[in-house]
Amino acid sequence: MSDWALVTGASRGIGREIALKLAADGWSVAVNYASSAARADAVVAEIESSGGRAVALQADVSDPDAVSSLFAAIADELGPLSVLVNNAGITDDGLLLRMRIEQWDNVLNTNLRSVFLCTKAALRPMLRARSGRIINISSVSGLSGNPGQGNYAAAKAGIIGLTKSVAQEVGSRGITVNSVAPGFIRTEMTEALGDTVTDAAVQQTALRRLGMPEEVASVVGYLASDGASYITGQTIVVDGGLTL
């Protein structure tokens, strides 16, 4: 039986495509979601119909108790994790002067605290196994900033700093830690922005189009593969030339 990969926030969007890609590459996939149970089940069904192995696991990854239960269930029912993809994320935009503390906390907790919690939980068995891959989904907002996204940009920049730090902490034990920074990708997160924002983003993108979730998933698949064995602490930008 193949080794397990956990993808957080895999019920839709980029996480869904990452789950499908990892399954196509031969990993068994734990499909985490917060509230979209039916959509997570549909991802599992799609993987199984192609001959793969997957399970759906509900957990709010910003919640320490929920993350403890999630990793306990993985250890008891599935076995050791070889790959962790920290993908779950939300936006709650607003100019800083108008941003409520709840907006700040929700975005930081869902996008950054979750990465701390899941990475810590995944590392113990990876350290024992002396191997593992951790892939964190950041954003070009974390590299360049973005007006109206102070909370989100801070969380995504935090992911990059965390990635570089943990990569140095665990590299001697055969574990790689990398991040992927997408630009504008066609998902429900960007659909919510409306045509004006999307059209402006397309005009600033060298390839003159939005990216597709599959185009982020293929890079994650590579980082999880044997071919990426000497890459760690890096942030790979997948933005069609938006930040050039």
Please identify which of the residues 33, 152, 222, 230 carries the catalytic annotation.
Answer: 152
The least distance separating ligand NAP from the CB of residue 243, rounded to whole angstroms, comes to 11
Tokens 């030339």 locate to 241
Of 104 and 184, the one with the shorter C-beta distance to ligand NAP is: 184
Min. distance of Cβ 182 from ligand NAP in angstroms?
4
Active site residue 152: yes
Choice between 174 and 185, CB closer to ligand NAP: 185
Let me know the angle formed at the C-alpha of 233 by 83 and 60, rounded to the nearest 5 degrees: 45
Residues of this chain that bind ligand NAP (CB under 6 A): 8-15, 32-36, 39, 60-62, 87-90, 110, 137, 139, 182, 184-185, 187-190
Distance CA 140, CA 148 (A): 14
Closest to ligand NAP by CB, 94 vs 127, is: 94
CB of 39 to ligand NAP, least distance (A): 6
- Cβ distance 127 to 175 under 8 Å? yes
Q: How far apart are CA 33 and CA 39, in angstroms?
A: 9
Two structure tokens written together for 202: 């397309």
Q: CB-wise, 39 or 164, nearer to ligand NAP?
A: 39
Q: Using an 8 Å Cβ cutoff, are 22 and 5 in contact?
A: yes
Return d(Cα 14, Cα 214) in angstroms, integer: 7
For the record, the structure tokens of 4 come out as: 């397990």
Cα 45 → chain centroid: 21
Annotated active-site positions, please? 152
